[in-house]
Chains A and B, each alone.
Chain A
Amino acid sequence: MSFGAIAGASGLDVWQTQALSLGMFTGASQFALVGVLGAGGGALVAVLTALLLGARNSLYALSLRPFLASSASTPWWQLLLRAQITIDESTAMAIRYPEGSRQARHAFWATGIAIFVLWNLGTLIGALGAAALEDPRTLGLDAAVPAGFIALLWPRLRDRSTIALALVSAAVAMALVPFLQPGLPVLSAALVALVAERLLARRAP
């Protein structure tokens, strides 16, 4: 629901908003795409930010391989469906069960499909609601955008180094706002992450 409302407040129509929930179907990337577009950023920058955020799904799929039926023995249409519902929640539920077990497969599909349906219904309700508003600011929808991002960020702040990375990224992006086109300051945080990775690599054995 929050995604539909926020996308509507960012200038997407109901169809575009719904297409994102059906097609992209990965929360953080969807919020990022509409956030960058809503702030006046270009399409290319918006897509790049969304895909950098979505790259983790690729590793989820990788870690799910031993839990689900092998890719080679799975019908192609099932593999295509499986890919679409590979997100934080379905991965987290599946890997709680033994590798290759029926429960793991069941948890993956049940969670993925349930969230797909609920997420898309919620999007539709939120988008229709936002479309009925004249000025989304009076309802504070512009304040809902950063709140959504910090709620997505919160569970990832596990230790001191990730908190430090978050603070530095936020500071760098803000400092660049007056000098770069909208969208690019956020993308610059990817460079901060690259530097952080090198620093962590040096510390780790």
Chain B
Amino acid sequence: MIWPAVIIGSLGAYLLKLSGYVIPERVLESQRLRRLTALLPVALLAALVAVQTFSTGTQLQVDARIAGLAAAIVALFLRAPFLVVVIVAAITAAVLRATGLAT
């Protein structure tokens, strides 16, 4: 089921980009649509952060990922670039696991 998701997802994402150039402007110009497309990434990304940190499948689970997230937030406050934030989180979790302090 991975390939269908990759292909349909890519096609859909492309058509969304193209639609902004070819659809008559007034169709996309509603205030409501504008607000919604600004809010959707915030809501979905926040949900992804929570679910990917605190769950495994359908279970809530607390493990080294929380420490990784905390380290990522510190890095963001320090204005670290994207790649640094991700690496800091991974190293934090990896060190905690290697030392047996967290699972």
Contact = CB atoms under 8 A, between A and B. Distances in A.
Interface in B50-93: 50-60, 64-65, 67-69, 71-73, 76, 82-83, 85-93
Interface residues of B, number: 78
Interface in A179-194: 179-182, 185-190, 192-194
A84 interface: yes
A143 interface: yes
Contact of A37 (B5, B38, B44): B5
A53 interface: yes
Interface in B1-47: 1-14, 16-22, 25, 28-29, 31-47
Binding site secondary structure of chain A? helix
Contacts of A189: 43-44, 46-47
A106 B44 CA distance: 33
A132 interface: no
Q: Tell me whether chain B's interface is mostly helix, strand or loop, or mixed.
A: helix
A55 B8 CA distance: 15
A43 B4 contact: yes
Contacts of A19: 6-7, 10
Contact of A62 (B20, B40, B54): B20
A152 B87 CA distance: 14
Interface of A: 1-2, 6, 11-12, 16, 19-20, 23-26, 28-29, 31-33, 35, 37, 39-40, 42-43, 46-47, 49-62, 64-65, 71, 79-80, 82-84, 86, 137-154, 156-157, 162, 165-167, 169-174, 177-182, 185-190, 192-194, 196-197, 200-201
6 contacts: A33-B6, A57-B13, A86-B20, A143-B92, A174-B54, A197-B35
Interface of B: 1-14, 16-22, 25, 28-29, 31-60, 64-65, 67-69, 71-73, 76, 82-83, 85-95, 97-98
